[in-house]
């Protein structure tokens, strides 16, 4: 990035560049967190870092702006270059979700609302979980930061159920017809996929998606048994609860057991809440056409919605198709427009509170 380009950046754009230029893999967010602390302190805002590394800048709790500090691995050289006719910042995290994080920090300073930068979203949402477990007071509204495009408003996410299937069988010659543990695991998963086989016309958001994520199997070290271990995940639409899906998966067990170790409920917010209406008005005021979105993955919004009954949406600049991608980049004009929308939304909600 040339010096001349850097000097032409606004304060908001410099914050974005600084954060994207700072490695912040899950578990290694402290340096990026310090950038946020320095930014808020420079604007005379109270700011502190909690025991797990979350950055808190409490203020007017009519609105809580929150996004995650961590990124996934990926070495993308950080640079600003013309992309599709406009300047864009290339670099890991520029879209997911450092663009949202920086935009929210700027909007929080401009409007005096509360800010929260959380850690670990890309792994286990430990930052968001820590916040709700420490009994933080429920804010008036939550705006969670993830890429939706500056005209997009995300109202729903599927939930998550994750577990480990384990089976063991006696070792024996491969000519024997009886199932071994590996076959037992394969048979269970085939029954699970049949149980959740969707109508082909059903939108993905409304389906239960089943996905094995890891498998180990073979003869034990002592040679006396065959063992199989399979990591599995289910994405859960709002039509189901996580417990519904767990019971249906357990119902397909023949041999073996499943240890269910993670669950996050689905969330679907109404488009008629004050915060959703404020976003539609702000986007139209900025010359955009609001789009209401449902995401097939899971985000920290699910965690907050499981504990707080306030209205919430997810919003942020960037094309979510570039999440975790090798060509991840964020157009700077879109980043700037998203800040304007966030400021407008916060001011509207502050007036109504």
State the average pLDDT over residues 161-175.
85
Does 43 have pLDDT greater than 60?
yes
Strand, helix or coil at 167?
Answer: strand
Question: Catalytic: which of 18, 29, 70, 347?
Answer: 70
**Band of residue 199 on the pLDDT scale cut at 50, 70, 90:** confident
**Can you tell me the distance from the alpha carbon of 129 to that of 281, in angstroms, rounded to the nearest whole number?**
31
Does 349 have pLDDT greater than 80?
yes
Instruction: Report domain extents, the chain.
Output: 3-158+267-352, 159-264
**Band of residue 30 on the pLDDT scale cut at 50, 70, 90:** very high
Question: Catalytic: which of 18, 29, 96, 121?
Answer: 121
Does 220 have pLDDT greater than 90?
no
CA angle 304, 310, 311 (to 5 degrees): 95
Q: Confirm whether 51 is a catalytic residue.
A: no
**Band of residue 177 on the pLDDT scale cut at 50, 70, 90:** confident
Per-residue HEC secondary structure of 94-132 comes to HHHHHHHHHHHHHHHHHHCEEEEEECCCCCCCHHHHHHH
CA angle 151, 340, 137 (to 5 degrees): 90
Return the CATH class of domain 159-264: alpha beta
Q: Confirm whether 46 is a catalytic residue.
A: no
Does 2 have pLDDT greater than 60?
no
Examine domains 3-158+267-352 and 159-264 and report if their fold is the same: no
Q: Does domain 3-158+267-352 have CATH number 3.40.630.10?
A: yes
């Amino acid at each position: 990035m040339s010096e001349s380009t850097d000097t032409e950046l606004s304060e908001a754009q410099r914050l974005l560049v600084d954060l994207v230029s700072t490695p912040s893999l899950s578990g290694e967010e402290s340096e990026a967190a310090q950038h946020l602390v320095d930014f808020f302190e420079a604007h005379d805002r109270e700011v502190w870092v909690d025991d797990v590394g979350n950055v808190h800048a409490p203020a007017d709790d009519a609105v809580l702006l929150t996004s995650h500090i961590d990124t996934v691995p990926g070495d993308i050289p950080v640079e600003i270059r013309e992309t599709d006719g406009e300047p864009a910042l290339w670099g890991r995290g520029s879209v997911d979700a450092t663009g949202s994080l920086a935009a929210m920090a700027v909007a929080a300073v401009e409007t005096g609302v509360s800010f929260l930068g959380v850690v670990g979203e890309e792994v286990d949402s430990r930052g968001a979980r820590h916040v709700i477990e420490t009994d933080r007071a429920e804010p008036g509204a939550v705006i969670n930061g993830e890429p939706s495009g500056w005209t997009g408003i995300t109202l729903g996410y599927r939930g998550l159920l994750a577990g480990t299937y384990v089976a063991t069988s006696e070792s024996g010659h491969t000519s024997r017809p009886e199932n071994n543990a590996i076959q037992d695991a394969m048979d269970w998963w085939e029954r699970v996929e049949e149980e959740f086989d969707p109508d082909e016309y059903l939108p993905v958001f409304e389906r239960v998606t089943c996905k094995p994520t890891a498998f180990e199997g073979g003869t034990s070290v002592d040679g006396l048994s065959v063992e199989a271990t399979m990591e599995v995940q289910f994405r859960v639409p709002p039509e189901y609860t996580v417990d519904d899906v767990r019971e249906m998966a357990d119902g397909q067990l023949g041999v073996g057991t499943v240890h269910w170790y993670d669950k996050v409920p689905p969330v679907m917010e109404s488009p008629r809440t004050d915060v959703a209406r404020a976003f539609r008005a702000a986007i139209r005021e900025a010359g955009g056409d609001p789009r209401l979105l449902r995401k097939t993955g899971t985000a920290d919004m699910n965690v907050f919605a499981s504990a707080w009954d306030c209205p919430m949406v997810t919003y942020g600049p960037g094309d979510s198709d570039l999440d975790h991608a090798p060509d991840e980049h964020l157009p700077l004009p879109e980043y700037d427009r998203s800040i304007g929308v966030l400021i407008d939304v916060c001011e509207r909600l502050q007036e109504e509170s």
